[in-house]
Every structure is written in structure tokens, then in C-alpha cells.
Chains A and B, each alone.
Chain A
Amino acid sequence: MKILVCVSVVPDTTTKITFNDNDTTFAKTGVQFIINPYDELALTRAIEIAEQNSGSVDVITVGEPDCDPIIRKALAMGANEAFRVNAHAVNSIFVAQQIANHAKNNNYDLILTGRESIDYNGGMVQGLIAGILDLPIINVVTELEYKEDLIEANRDIDGGVETVSSSLPCVVSAQKDLCEPRIPNMRGIMMARSKPLTVIEPNGDFNYTQVEKYELPEAKTGVKLIDAENAESLIDILHNEEKLF
């Protein structure tokens, strides 16, 4: 059982977003970076499955050298080996192509990702990897079990849940509730220092899209307070003035 987990390094969820260089780049100064929370779930579940089936877990990220300390955390959580494709993640196709290139030569049984990264929120990398490698995909998964050459997963669908099975190899993306994220212990942190982190150079530029600039959404102009005594008038305003129903 050989598992690859794709990890993205993202700003912490409490980050206030600002931009530099005429609103063309995200201002990283003072921002704390973390493993994308959904990727952390994917990684935790991968480690659990590997432990139960004497397997191994590799992690891969596409990013610049400042990602290394965060990727070490993935090793401290229990991944066996890490790979970093040394490039700025321009768009999701570029990222998926780099990961697919690595996966092609390494015979993984399972490729796990988070359901989306919380910075660009594309949620496309898993589907693109499946498309490039011509593999089955189970997207947005809240439960994942490995059963002798087969996986079974619960995936979110609009208004419900579906149980899906697939042969291996297969691509799966993690949704909240998949598991409790594992917190590295001291032994894991010590061991992570000596685990291999291999840097791979990128292949191809795939500049199908690029972000030209960012802007912040318009702020609300100010709240109109309604006296609690008169709370019912809110409904009248929403009905008569805002015409919402």
C-alpha cells in the first residue's frame, strides 16, 4: 500500500488578506503559513490506512523553498518521505501536471488531496490529476476505508451523501469529518529531521491562466440597528424595502 498525499501551504485561517506590488501579489509579511486544513485530514487518514496495512505515505507539494519547514511538519505527523517541486504554483493545471509527473513513475495505490486549498479555493487539482493519469476519482469524502484492493468512501453530494467504491489506484479528496487531524509528537518531530525531503525541478510552464491583480471586496457601508423592542420591523423592511420575499 503506497499512498501519495498532495499538500498545499496556505495562510492561516485567521489571516487578514492584503496585497503588494499594485495589488498583484499576496502580502506574505507577518503571515503565518500552515498545511492546508483539508490536506491535513487527507494526510492523517493516509497515515492511519498505511499503519493498518503496512504501507507507506509520501507527501508532495509545489512551492518555493519557504515551504520546507511546513512540509517538515507533514513528516513529523508520520509521512515517510517528502517531495517539493521547486516552483511558484502558477495555476491548478501547472500544479496537477507536476504532481502527475511524479506519480506516474512511483506506482501509488492511492493519491489523496484536500477537497480544496483555502487560499485559491479551486478544488480542481484532484480532478486534474485523475484526468491526466486516467484514474477514477471520489471527490469530497467524509469517510474512507481500504478493503483488500478496493476502497469504499462516503462522498458529499448536493443535499446528501453517497457511498462509492473504487478499485485502485484511485484519487480521493478529503472533506471535514474524514478524521481528527493528527498533532505531531516530540518523537515525530525529532524523526522528521532525518527523513528525506527531495527537491524536484518543474517540467513545462502551463501558463493557461494567470492572476492579473487582486482587489478586496467592498466593505458594507454601516449597519442599521433596529431596536429589540421593534424586532418585527426587520421583517417589514426585508419584505417592503429590500423586497427579498
Chain B
Amino acid sequence: MAVLVYAESDNGNYKKSSFEAISYGRDLADQHSTSCIAISIGNKGSENLGQYGAHQEVNINGDLYQSFNPNVHAKAISEIANQCDCQIIVFSQTYSGKSIAPILAVKQDSAIVTGVIGLADTSGGFKVKTTAFSNKAVAHVQVNQIKKTLTIIPNSYQINSYDQTAEVLQLEVNVSENDAKTKIVKTQKETGKVALTEAELVISAGRGLKGAENWNLVEDLADALGAATACSKPVSDMEWRPHSEHVGQTGITIKPNLYIAAGISGAIQHLAGVSSSKVICVINTDPEAPFFKAADYGIVGDAFDILPRLTNRINELKG
């Protein structure tokens, strides 16, 4: 048996979360004294995946794989899993990973565990920690099935470094256009922006910014830091910002190293989406804002005054 990890790429570059998933897969493989195989589909990144822990790597390419199709991807991965006798399959929990994983789990008749935030405890069976109740709790999940499909939350596992080169396997799969089932009409992508779910640094703002026209303050700070931008629910409801930036219980959940929130009071629904960030900084004019209780650093002050000063200080440091 072996551990198979899906290494997702975007425009010919591997995602950082793929390296986390590979390191996770390698640590699992070491626990089971077996090998870790990385599989990429379509135009892959240029790195050899051995440095993150893969013993072997396989790339499936061709016209069929130029766009993302969960049915096609799941079938290809399932065939490789069968050929290489992989009982554990690891994904990063991205939009694509979340779409492929369940279809694959049905094909493999495997258990499926999502929201994984830590390495499995294999001392008595197979137990993993996952997020539950929109990050308001952690669940310990016991997996009873021999075959397992896991999706790992981005930014929750470290990237290991190995002095090795993965052996490249040449394998074929039998997937055809008929497996695609859906057709892509068009794709619109924002380029040059840091993807929010994968971002290590996030600058976020709420109603305290008073209007969409003031978002340059947030964007300037984000640009200076190389951070992604996010917002609270009211801000996306009022269409000051696109819903793809809404973090919170009914938006997306993020786990960056740094979360700076300006003009957000910190309702329980918002905290659910961001509370597992490593360092939280809150800027708010109201000293009683509930967000301060969930923060590491706080500034009681006006975002209009504070944000530009933070941006300037970063630019000074960068010289």
C-alpha cells in the first residue's frame, strides 16, 4: 500500500497548499512505513516534488486535462490509486480538492474526512483532528474504513524539506471525453492577486470603513505587505466588495499567519471564519468591540488614521 497526494497546479505552477499536502502525505507514509506518491494533472509546476516528501511522482496530461473537471480528475486519480495500491489519498481543501475528493471516495469506497488540521494518530486505529461547527470547535474523528480520503485545510500543516528527487512514474489512465459530463463555457480569473484561502497574511475591513471608495487604504496596506484582502459579511452584502472576499461562518474560512481587521466589531459569525489565524490584530474605534477579546494585538483608534501609518511604516522598513 502507498499514500497518494494530489498536487494541484494553477497555470503551470504548483499551489503552496500542494506542498503542505505532500508533506502531510509523507509523514503519513512514514507512519505506515510505505511510500508517498504525488499525482499532478494537466500542466504541472516545474519543481521536483521529492523535496517536499514525495518518493515518486506521476503526471497525467493531455487535451482532456487542460480545464478542471471533477469527474475527469477523480477518474484519473482513482485509476492511479488502483495501479499503485494506494489506500490513503490526500488533498488540500481547495475548491478543486473539495470537488474531486467525494467523487473519488465513491469510486474507491473509501471513508472521507474533511477539514483535517493535524497528522493522524495511528496508535490505536486511525484518528484525525478536524474543524467542526464552522471553526467554533475541533472534532476527533475515528476512521473505520481501510481506504481513506482526507482533505487538509490550507496553512494548517508545515512544509517539510527533503534532500531527494522523486522518481517519475510513467503511467497511463483510461479516461475519455465522455467522462467529462459538463462543459466549460468560459473562465474569468483575477490575476496577480493573492488567493485568500492560501494567503499567509490577510488584511480585512468592515463597515467601519464607511464605503467602497475607502478600500484603497486596505489595498495599500495589503500591497505593501504582499497580503490578500478580505472583508466582513455586511461589506459583501452591501456590495462594497465581492462575496469571494467575505470571511466568516457563511463566507470562507481562513487560517493565515496574520489577520489584521480594521473596523470589524467581531460578531461570533465573523470570528468563526478567522479565529484560527495565528496572530490577530484588531483596529477599532470602540474599545468594547468583542473582537478585542479574540485578538493578540489591538489598537483602539480610527482605521482612517491608523491604516496609512501602518502602510508607511512597512514601506520605511522595506527601505
Instruction: Give residues in A with beta carbon < 8 Å to B.
Output: 11, 13-14, 16-17, 19, 26, 37-38, 91-93, 96, 118-128, 130-132, 135-140, 142, 152, 156-167, 170, 175-177, 207-217, 220, 223-228, 231-232, 234-239, 242, 244-245
Contacts and interface: CB of A to CB of B under 8 A. Distances in A.
A157 B74 CA distance: 17
B197 A131 contact: no
B141 interface: yes
A174 B192 CA distance: 27
Contact of A164 (B114, B184, B188, B195): B184
A128 B135 contact: no
Contact of B297 (A124, A131, A237): A237
Given A92-B102, A124-B114, A165-B182, 5 more contacts: A137-B71, A137-B99, A176-B236, A208-B111, A228-B300
Interface in B181-226: 181-191, 193, 195, 197-198, 200-201, 225-226
B181 A232 contact: no
B143 A142 contact: no
Given A207-B144, A208-B145, A118 B249 contact: yes
A217 B10 contact: no
Interface stretch (B37-45, B164-172, B303-311): B303-311
A132 B112 CA distance: 14
Majority secondary structure of chain B interface residues (helix, strand, loop or mixed)? mixed
Contact of B299 (A121, A122, A228, A239): A228
Contacts of B195: 158-159
Interface string B236-257: 1000000110100111010001
Given A162-B187, A223-B282, A244 B299 contact: no
Interface centre among B100, B140, B298 (most CB of A within 10 A): B140
Contact of B112 (A93, A121, A137): A93
A244 B282 contact: no
